[in-house]
Amino acid sequence: MMRDRFLRAARGAATDTTPVWLMRQAGRYMPEYRALRREHPMKDVIRNPQLAVEVTLQPLRRFDLDAAILFSDLLVPIWGMGEDFELVEGRGPVLTRELDAPALASLPAIDLAKLEFTFTAVRALRSALDRPLIGFTGGPFTFASYLIEGKPSRDYPKTRAFLHAHPAAWSALMTRLADNLADYLRAQIEAGAQAVQVFDSWAGVLSAADFQAHVRPALSRMLTRVGDTVPRIYFSTGSAHLYAAIATLPVEVIGVDWRVSLRTAAALLGDGGAPGADARTRRNAPRTRILQGNLDPVLLLGSEDDLWAAADAIVDEGRHIGGHIFNLGHGVLPETNPDRVRALIERVHERGGRSAR
């Protein structure tokens, strides 16, 4: 029988305990992942469904997680748009050729046939798993920032400058990415993904005004096109100043980073009737607001006392905000001890069960 705690919580239903999964739950902190990566470069792991499935399943063999998330990379859908990228260790994905404004403005519609390896992996995972599988992709802004910036950056000035220097190209790019990334998620859903997460990790570098005017419309278009057949999760970091606008997005779950408490996030997100939201947006926004997060991943590297105090507080807060899925506030760090991860997951389940609704 499928363990559906995560999906029930994502829909706002009661659960026996707090569900938990972790961003980057598959990754360098696990010896079996490092062993596999010594044999296979990252690109092969992503493009070979057998390897992608193996890596996705590694953390589920070790830990009592409530969901799996497809192992892939944020830039993968660019292969369906006629471009290529390299994965540079410690630097992230980098486009093989630079795209100028005209090229960015005329990205083609996505060719899903070129991404068949993803859907094959999703189908294989769905039949192998006894718990929900989460599909994912990037948000239009974060995806665009990889295309425009060309290197890792603290606050993506090139992307923010592009948006103002080339407004027509930006608008065309956002619309195209909204549709392409939505279609990529829909194909994952058709292949068996039971929830989807949009990683808009860099959205927090934007001013509230720019997010509202130049990014939110594309994001809303994308999420509407994905539809509500499965729960949609929107994750961003450093974005408390955007929560009034994020609150009006058509998503079921909002991923909160480590910077603010769940309680503060819930207050900032309000009921989706934030200032600036028009009546139509408010109507489209789901009534229940489920939060996902938000233990600071660095706490897994510190003292047990600090870790358990923070984890317990998050589980307890989560019981008072309408609905909660436990996660980290960002990905598991490579230095993390897997035993700590196991203990964390057990503790969340134990404590969440004590106060279960």
Shortest spacing between CB 10 and a copy of itself, in angstroms:
25
Helices (H) and strands (E) in the chain, counts: 16, 9
Distance, CA of 232 to CA of 32 (rounded, Å) = 30
Is the Cα torsion angle 221, 277, 203, 19 positive or negative in sign?
negative
Shortest spacing between CB 205 and a copy of itself, in angstroms:
8
Q: How far is CA 154 from CA 25, 145, 174, in A?
A: 24, 11, 21
Given the complex with a copy of itself, which of 109 and 209 has the nearer CB atom?
209
Is 339:332 a contact under the CB 8 Å cutoff?
no
Q: Quick one: 40 exposed, middle or buried, by C-beta within 10 A (0-12, 13-18, 19+)? A: middle
Shortest spacing between CB 91 and a copy of itself, in angstroms:
11
Shortest spacing between CB 120 and a copy of itself, in angstroms:
33
Given the complex with a copy of itself, which of 71 and 162 has the nearer CB atom?
162
Distance, CA of 159 to CA of 200 (rounded, Å) = 14
Given the complex with a copy of itself, which of 139 and 231 has the nearer CB atom?
139
Given the complex with a copy of itself, which of 29 and 79 has the nearer CB atom?
29
Beta strands at 85-88 and 92-95: parallel, antiparallel or unpaired: antiparallel
Residues 6+ apart with CB under 8 A from 256: 262, 265, 291, 292, 293, 294, 329
Shortest spacing between CB 268 and a copy of itself, in angstroms:
9
Shortest spacing between CB 128 and a copy of itself, in angstroms:
32
Report residue 20: phi and psi, to 5°. Answer: -145, 135
Active site residues: 24, 28, 37, 73, 146
Which of these, 11, 28, 109, 114, lies nearest to 71 by C-alpha position? 28
Given the complex with a copy of itself, which of 144 and 193 has the nearer CB atom?
144
Strands in 290-295's sheet, in edge-to-edge order, are: 68-69, 133-138, 195-199, 232-235, 253-255, 290-295, 324-328
Given the complex with a copy of itself, which of 2 and 301 has the nearer CB atom?
301
Binding residues vs a copy of itself (CB under 8 A) = 152-155, 157, 160-161, 163-165, 167, 204-210, 237-238, 240-241, 258-261, 264, 296-299, 301-303, 306, 329-330, 333, 335
